[in-house]
Amino acid sequence: MTQNLADTSRPAAPAAESDADSSAANGAAGRGWWRDAVIYQVYPRSFADSNGDGMGDLPGVRSRLPYLRDLGVDAVWLSPFYASPQADAGYDVADYRAVDPMFGTLLDADGLIRDAHELGLRIIVDLVPNHSSDQHEWFQRALREGPGSPLRDRYHFKPGKGADGELPPNDWESIFGGPAWTRTVDPDGTPGDWYLHLFAPEQPDFNWENPAVADEFRSILRFWLDMGVDGFRIDVAHGMVKAPGLPDLGAHDQLKLLGNDVMPFFDQDGVHAIYRAWRRILEEYPGQRIGVAEAWTPTVQRTANYVRPDELHQAFNFQYLGTSWDAAELREVIDLSLDSMRPVDAPTTWVLSNHDVTRHATRFANEPGLGTQIRTPGDRELGLRRARAASLLMLALPGSAYVYQGEELGLPDVTDLPDEVRQDPSFFRAEGQDGFRDGCRVPIPWSGTEAPYGFGPTAGGPSWLPQPDSWAGLSVEVQTGDPTSTLELYRSALTIRRSHPDLGAGESVEWLETGEHLLSFRRGSFVCTVNTGSEPVRIAAPGRILLSSTEAVAVEGETVLPADSTIWWAV
């Protein structure tokens, strides 16, 4: 299944600092492109469909790269496009060195990387090392060869408990609901051992104690680095090492404990040795290649462990993503994030949306505290106003920011998808009580008045999830040139962020004293003021308005900061 590509010369990654700068010894802002990069997440299924089959693909992404360059982002992170049966939308990889035919070919990936580099964009690919697909050759052979097969030790195959092994080996629960173990059938047809899957049964967990697993992933890293990618977003980066002996957790509803406790299957200290080995590989390559941890940990301090100087370069800041639209809470998490990353000399990252959570325009449209799987649209107008303000706040903070495709259009989640079109495995494992990730994965609108709104080549053509009629008014085409649109707000913000000497990388902000519901901070000659309250507030204008998330005018030294708004100032 592995596709091969005879290489030739390839365009270098965008020119940046010297390669020596990628080492851990680097100093302040500007010492590595990732320290202030705006990284745009492309979810390939839903970005652009070149062949009209209703599913986005790599040629589609490639054709839209100029849009991303013009938007003003620095890098593109692509969710998985590898050979996969798509039990979890590509996070179940059957062949780590092949492109799934539904997304294209390795040649398409090569062309995409080359084009991106020519446009000055870097490419980060997703790496899924915690588990493979159950269709991966190793797992299939392990099943076929039965007990005693050396391939079984590359996964967690264990005998069950109970008189006949009829009970799972321990009490761990799958993140997608139900037990984290599935029983196998031996080649002779009798019930056999169980295997561990922290996610869907189609996603067996690798056993990282087996050296063949570590060898294979080092080789996969090199394969994609040789293809020219600029980095990896590491899926479930906190999951690969399990507590010795796979002890019981002794609790039910384990999903609710995530984020509060260190679990025997997450955030084990042993995982860091893997990243130290990977860092050495990344540094063998020219051009500052990076690793980004998707690590859900109980505290920001524990997240910082993943970005110690000899480990990965960035980690997602999920504590920030989970924060309500509330000035006091935001200030606390901003301080905590900056304070936690400073000792390890890693940039703080900021993120509001991704393919696993309700889009922030919908999150902020609902009452706080509902979590990140919301199925009610809430007050759309309010949600969009807050989303625009939140985006300006995020882009003003020191460090690197992640933008999820479509947030620059102000897209809401699609909360009313009928059950029959849903594909998220966690929706089915939780019997429809949870797992509404399809709502943020609906293909994005580019142009035209009829679905799929330029996502595919033909008006009236298919899209793998249906788009709402209202999205005709949210397309890139409609928003381009409209100074009040969210797209133009992002374009302006990213232009200012690139050119302003005090924006981007940094380690701290200087808080300015303000009132309740207000946030105000200074970074050199730049000030950001935010009103998270529902009433307008009159403030002394700190300078000249650079950009505002809603209409705001500074007159005679004073300005009204509208409800749910952010203003950028030159001071």
Judged by the rule CB under 6 A, the positions of this chain that interact with ligand NOJ are 88, 91, 128, 199, 235-236, 294, 355-356
Rounded to the nearest whole angstrom, what is the least distance from the CB of residue 498 to ligand NOJ in the complex? 28
235 flagged as catalytic = yes
Instruction: Name the residue nearer to ligand NOJ (CB basis): 57 or 356.
Output: 356
Beta strands 122-127; 231-234: pairing state? parallel
Q: Which is nearer to ligand NOJ, 424 or 564 (CB)?
A: 424
Closest contact distance (angstroms) between CB of 94 and ligand NOJ is 14
* Residues 6 or more apart whose Cβ sits within 8 Å of residue 430: 176, 177
Instruction: State how far the alpha carbon of 254 is from the alpha carbons of 167, 178, 261, 374, 433, in Å.
Output: 18, 10, 10, 20, 16
Closest contact distance (angstroms) between CB of 351 and ligand NOJ is 12
Instruction: Give the SS3 label for residue 55.
Output: coil
Closest distance to ligand NOJ from the beta carbon of 229 (Å): 18
Phi-psi region of 279 (alpha: psi -120 to 50; beta: other; left: phi over 0): alpha
Which letter does DSSP use for residue 467 in this model? P
The 3-class secondary structure across 359-390, one letter per residue, is: CHHHHCCCCCCCCCCCCCCCCHHHHHHHHHHH
* Residue 407 annotated as catalytic: no
Name the burial class of residue 483, with classes exposed (0-12), middle (13-18) and buried (19+) by CB atoms within 10 angstroms of its CB.
Answer: exposed
Residue from 108, 110, 115, 235 carrying the catalytic annotation: 235
Residue with tokens 């133009």: 488
Give the shortest CB-235-to-ligand NOJ separation in angstroms: 5
Rounded to 10 degrees, what is the CA torsion of 363, 364, 366, 371?
40
Quick one: tokens of 368? 């706080």
Out of 164, 188, 253, 284, which one is annotated catalytic? 284
Cβ nearer to ligand NOJ, comparing 199 with 224: 199
Would you say 193 or 356 has its CB closer to ligand NOJ? 356
Residue whose beta carbon is closest to ligand NOJ: 91
Please identify which residue in the block is written with the tokens 């509060």: 260
The CB-of-256 to ligand NOJ minimum distance in angstroms stands at: 18
- For 280, residues 6+ apart whose C-beta sits below 8 A from its C-beta are none
Pick between residue 34 and residue 43 the one whose CB is nearest to ligand NOJ: 43
Task: Output the smallest distance, CB 146 to ligand NOJ, in A.
Answer: 27
Rounded Cα gap, residues 544 and 205, in angstroms = 54
Q: DSSP letter string over 98-127? A: EE-TTT--HHHHHHHHHHHHHTT-EEEEEE
Query: Cα torsion for 358, 71, 400, 407, to the nearest 10°?
Result: -10
Comparing CB distances to ligand NOJ, the nearer of 39 and 505 is: 39
CB nearer to ligand NOJ: pick between 128 and 384: 128
**Would you state the structure tokens that stand for residue 303, as one six-digit string?**
């997240």
Active-site residue list: 235, 284
